[in-house]
Amino acid sequence: MTRQELFTQITRKGSFLCVGLDPDVDKIPAHLQTEEDPIFAFNKQIIDATRNYCVAYKPNTAFYEAHGLEGWKSLEKTQHYLRTTCPDHFLIADAKRGDIGNTSAMYAKAFLEKMDFDSITVAPYMGEDSVKPFLTYKNKWVILLALTSNKGALDFQNLLTGNHLLFAEVIRKSAEWGTSDTMMYVVGATRAEMLQEIRKLIPDHFLLVPGVGAQGGSLQEVAKYGMNKQCGLLVNASRSILYAGSGTDFAEKAAAEAQALQLEMSKLLKP
Amino acid sequence: MTRQELFTQITRKGSFLCVGLDPDVDKIPAHLQTEEDPIFAFNKQIIDATRNYCVAYKPNTAFYEAHGLEGWKSLEKTQHYLRTTCPDHFLIADAKRGDIGNTSAMYAKAFLEKMDFDSITVAPYMGEDSVKPFLTYKNKWVILLALTSNKGALDFQNLLTGNHLLFAEVIRKSAEWGTSDTMMYVVGATRAEMLQEIRKLIPDHFLLVPGVGAQGGSLQEVAKYGMNKQCGLLVNASRSILYAGSGTDFAEKAAAEAQALQLEMSKLLKP
| All residues at 6 or more sequence positions from A236 whose CB lies less than 8 Å from its CB, including other chains | A17, A18, A19, A20, A56, A58, A208, A209, A210, A211, A212
Per-residue model confidence (pLDDT) at position A215: 73
Residue A171 falls within a domain, yes or no?
no
**pLDDT higher than threshold 90 for residue B193:** no
State residue A238's pLDDT score.
95
For A123, which residue in chain B has the nearest alpha carbon? Answer: B125
Size of interface A-B (CB pairs under 8 A): 186
- Give A-chain residues touching B123 at CB under 8 angstroms: 96, 98, 123, 125-126
Q: Are B152 and A126 within 8 A, CB to CB?
A: yes
pLDDT of residue B14: 98
- Identify all chain B residues contacting A122, using CB atoms and an 8 Å cutoff: none
Task: Tell whether the model's pLDDT for residue B48 goes beyond 90.
Answer: yes
- Give the model's pLDDT for residue A217: 80
Q: How far apart are CA A229 and CA A18, in angstroms?
A: 19
From A62, A124, A127, residue closest to B106, measured CB to CB? A62
pLDDT tens, per residue, chain A with 271 residues: 999 999 999 999 999 999 999 999 999 999 999 999 999 999 999 999 999 999 999 999 999 999 999 999 999 999 999 999 999 999 999 999 999 999 999 999 999 999 999 999 999 999 999 999 999 999 999 999 999 989 999 999 999 998 899 999 999 999 999 999 999 999 998 878 899 999 999 999 999 999 887 677 889 999 999 999 999 999 999 999 999 999 999 999 999 999 999 999 999 998 7
Which pLDDT does position B191 carry in this prediction? Answer: 79
User: pLDDT tens, B115-129?
Assistant: 999 999 999 999 999
Q: Residue B192: is its pLDDT beyond 90?
A: no
Partners of residue B62 in chain A, C-beta under 8 Å: 97, 99, 103-104, 106-107, 110
Q: Do the chains contact at B160 and A155, CB–CB below 8 Å?
A: no
ipTM for the predicted complex comes to: 0.97
Does A121 map to a domain? yes
Residues spanned by the domain of B30: 3-269
Q: What residues of B are in contact with residue A66 (Cβ under 8 Å)? A: 106-107, 109-110, 114
Percentage of residues of chain B with pLDDT beyond 90: 93
Residues B74-89: what's their mean pLDDT? 98
Question: Which pLDDT score is estimated for B271?
Answer: 72
The predicted pLDDT at position B61 comes to 98
Q: What residues of chain A lie within 8 A of the CB of B161, using their CB?
A: 156, 159-161, 166
Do the domain assignments include residue A172? no
In this prediction, residues B16-24 reach a mean pLDDT of 98
Q: Which residues of chain B make contact with A111, given a CB cutoff of 8 A?
A: 65
How much is the pLDDT for A213? 74
The reported pLDDT for the residue numbered B131 is 98
Using CA coordinates, name the residue in chain A closest to B60: A103
Question: Residue A212: what pLDDT?
Answer: 86
Residue B150 belongs to domain with CATH number: 3.20.20.70
Q: Is residue A264 part of a domain?
A: yes
A22, A100, A123 ranked by CB distance to B123: nearest: A123
CB contact under 8 A, A123 and B98: yes
In chain B, % of residues over pLDDT 70: 100
Query: Residue A111 domain-assigned?
Result: yes
Q: Mean pLDDT for chain B?
A: 96
Res. B216: pLDDT tops 90: no
Which of A39, A69, A70, A126 is the best substitution to test chain B (most B C-beta atoms within 10 A)?
A: A126
Statement: residue B55 has pLDDT above 80: yes
* Domain annotation covers residue A248: yes
Q: Is B114 in Cβ contact with A67 (below 8 Å)?
A: yes
Number of domains within chain B: 1
Residue at A93 is within a domain? yes
Closest by Cβ to A166, choosing from B67, B115, B156: B156
pLDDT tens per residue across span B219-266? 999 999 999 999 999 999 999 999 999 999 999 999 999 999 999 999
Rounded Cα distance between A214 and A222, Å, is 15
- Position B6 scores a pLDDT of 98
Q: What is the mean pLDDT of residues B58-83?
A: 98
Q: What distance in Å separates residue A107's CA from the closest CA in chain B?
A: 5
Q: Which residue of B has its CA nearest to A74?
A: B69
The residue type of A154 is L
CB nearest to B123's CB, from A100, A125, A127: A125
Q: What is the distance in angstroms between the Cα of B118 and the nearest Cα belonging to chain A?
A: 16
